[in-house]
Amino acid sequence: MIRTDDSTRGRLGAGVDPNVEERLPFLMVVILLVFGAFIVRLFQLQIIMGEVFAEESDKNSVRLVRLEAPRGDILDREGRMIATTRPAFGVQVLPSDLRNPDLAFRALGQLLEEDEEGLREQVGDARGRARFQPVRLAGDLSYDRLASVESHLYALPGVMTDVRPRRHYLGGDQAAHLLGYLGEVQRQQLETRAYAGYRSGDVIGQSGIEALEQFRLRGRDGGRNVVVDVRGRVVDVLDEEEPVAGGGVTLTLDLDLQHAAEEGFLPDAIGDPPKMGALVAMDVQTGDILALVSKPSYDPNAFAGGVSAATWKALTTDTWRPLQNRAISGQYPPGSTYKAIVAASALQERVITPGGLVYCPGYFTLGRRSYRCWKKEGHGAMSLRDAIVQSCDVYFYTAGLKLGIDRLAFFARGFSLGRRTGIALASEQSGLVPTAAWKETRFGEPWGAGETVSASIGQGFDLVTPLQLAVAYAAIANGGRVVRPRLVLSLQDSDGRLVPGPAPEIRSTVPVSEKYLALVRDALTGVVEEPRGTGGRARVPGMRVAGKTGTAQVVHLRHTEDLEEEEVPLKYRDHAWFVAFAPADAPQIVVAVLGEHGGHGGSAAAPIAQRVLARWSEKHAPAAQLAEVKAEAPDVGD
């Protein structure tokens, strides 16, 4: 046992700072405070804010993937597919998960054969919540390219592939102006009540049927909660709500007639430029649009995944305006197709009689000015029927002057010219039917008799659309009823229930009696079926056709009058018209054709209408009639 005396204890304590003992309580308090703060913070994080941080943690590992709804199908009147939806594979990146952006963009540039810097610009400098929003870099990949990308995903955290529904138009540019195109919803649209349920980036119909029936075709998006690992790869699906496809739309369109109409605008020979213009085929009783063509056209498939800047610039800067729907918004002088309206009006006002004769020497003199007939040597003595069949200008100069511009305008408007037809498409134009008061207001000048002469053959200020002429001739064909053009035959909701489309509608009746309309119909039949008629190239075996040719002057150029047509610059060449209905004795279909800068109606426009009428006859006429041989068509003038 060791004993320690006082001297020993003194020696042991001699080396200890007496202040330490005084600071020990303070240090203990500091240590306790630090541990207390840790405990309080731990309590706060684990207990008080535990649920909040657990939720934030889930956000990092559980993501909501939006599942876009397929748009509803668009069908023709016989149930054939026109527009549908197909899967399109794409590549997207999640900025928050990009571990090595330089490597990722360099690899994607090679895999997608895209510019690396362009891909960087698409993603941008994502900050805040935007870091957790996926950015789609490419869409509609081929299967080979998709496989190439997916084989490298293991080394590219933050890069993933996806599949989305993509609109597909089976006919390419066929009926493009009727179907319309898709595009991202615009800011001004989002500010309206109609688009209250949409958000920036949503794709909607921006024109045509796609816009008209947007809310039926749209469908309802779904969603999927998925668990992802640190590389952004999906490892589990927690729950899912399937998207609901949009409802379907069955159009009045007949694809057989549409194909025939489109073929009519193809170049006549290899190396020839494509034809420009428009065509409308319509049921004369119901107003059903059976075919609608506008050329030049565009492929709406180019818009389905977002139109490129280069494509959009090419379309919007093209001199010939391929985005314009010429069938409803192209406004042109009606030319000699107007003569049927003038004839019906003059008969109703009794300024002419069916048997009264007008002599045509090849020109018409008014004051000191002469107005030529298209036939320089003249037609001789012309009755009303002969004047329509041979399209004699002098006869209608005379009839128009007797009628006067204001009475002529009254009847023209009664045939739905100079006003919109009521078709359910945006951008329809009203055309122009001039009056003396209109000119006084527009130019501050009185109307001149010479202007009535020009108006009597569809020149001067008069402007019509192809659809307006189709409606006007349908009224001649059906006994005087002005029908509203109809596009939708039936609708289908997302549950498959059919809903009838708008019922056929008669907007008004023309101010001409049936007996005079019958006289005009008979003369129009002679235009096509008689040897001297100007519309012989529209004849259809086994079916009598009635129609009227027209050539509308674009600009009067004295120095080009003696030139051959091909020597005149294209933009100065005349427009070619032909409007017809058939069968002549019991009309069911009307076809209006405009050949923009096409030349003569009888040679440029009538053959296009003939294709459509022949296809209609094949589908509706008795088989025995189809065996008849088509008669040889004569030379035409107008």
Residues 68, 165 contacting (CB under 8 angstroms): yes
**Dist CA 545 CA 192 (whole Å):** 49
Structure tokens at 354: 């069916």
Return the residue matching tokens 């329809």: 428
Collapse the DSSP code of 303 into the 3-class scheme (helix H, G, I; strand E, B; otherwise coil) and give the result: helix
Q: Which of 294, 297, 329, 336 is catalytic?
A: 336
Alpha carbon of 365 to those of 23, 95, 368, 461, 595: distances in Å? 128, 80, 7, 21, 31
Which residue(s) pair with 283 in the sheet? 589
- Taking Cα atoms as reference points, which of 178, 204, 176, 180 lies closest to residue 190? 204
Helices 116-123 & 101-112 angle (0-180, nearest 10): 120
- The encoded tokens of residue 592 equal 């209006």
Q: Between vectors from CA 595 to CA 590 and to CA 600, what angle results, nearest 5°?
A: 100
* Catalytic annotation present for 454: no
Which amino acid, one-letter code, is at 611?
R
521: nearest Cα among 621, 282, 529, 542 = 529
Assign residue 386 a region: left if phi > 0, alpha if psi is -120 to 50, beta otherwise?
A: alpha
Tokens standing for residue 150: 């997916």
Instruction: Say how many Å lie between the first and final Cα of the chain, rounded.
Output: 143
On whether the CB atoms of residues 297 and 171 are closer than 8 A, the answer is no
Query: What letter does residue 495 receive in the DSSP assignment?
Result: T
Catalytic residue ranges: 336
